[in-house]
Amino acid sequence: MASPLPTKIAGRTGAIAEVASDGSLNVVVTDMPAVSVGAPVGGATEAKQDTMITHVDGIEALLALVTATSGGKTTVSVGIDITSATTTTIVAADATRKIKIVGIILFSSGINAITLLRGATALCGKFDLVAQSGFTMNIGNNTPIFETAVNEAFRITTTAATQLSGVAVYFLEA
């Protein structure tokens, strides 16, 4: 296993990520504030939707911290809003440059398995998310955590028709 990669947002450690020998990514959440979420029973309720809106508001607040110019690169952020079981292009392919993902925050309202892709190729193992859960990855100083080849899109595949929300932060580089 490679060395753990600490993930920090607003000076707080959010997760430790390790790439296992089989290529899967293990993320262990640490030092995160407690969040009280009601048990996911049955379909969507107004209370669950309010909880999700609160989480998305928190993501937007963190976005301002993540998208600043750092490490000599100016980053761009793109919102993620997926509601069906499909493959969605998050950042379109660039004919002359690679897409370098430097941060990602994802939150799922329901049970979902997601895979991050460069074109049609998986960038890592799939993430199995339970209802009302998510993760964040950001090494810091605009160090890429994933990158595509030139002329490949950054995409996400979802396996369930549940709300997947978040933000990807990236820059383009030849």
Q: 34 falls in which pLDDT band (50, 70, 90)?
A: very low
Q: Looking at residues 10-25, what average pLDDT do you find?
A: 49
Give this prediction's pTM.
Answer: 0.62
For residue range 42-57, list pLDDT tens digits in order.
555 666 666 666 666 6
Question: What whole-number distance in Å separates Cα of residue 158 and Cα of residue 114?
Answer: 5
Q: According to the model, what pLDDT value does residue 134 have?
A: 93
Who's near 83: CB < 8 A, 6+ residues apart?
Answer: 161, 162, 163, 164
User: Which domains does the chain carry?
Assistant: 5-32+46-173 (2.60.120)
For residue range 91-141, list pLDDT tens digits in order.
999 999 999 999 999 999 999 999 999 999 999 999 999 999 999 998 888
Whether residue 134 contacts residue 107, with contact meaning beta carbons closer than 8 Å, is answered with: yes
Q: Looking at residues 61-72, what average pLDDT do you find?
A: 55
Res. 40: pLDDT tops 70: no
Nearest to 93 by CA among 74, 117, 77, 72: 117
Question: What whole-number distance in Å separates Cα of residue 7 and Cα of residue 29?
Answer: 9
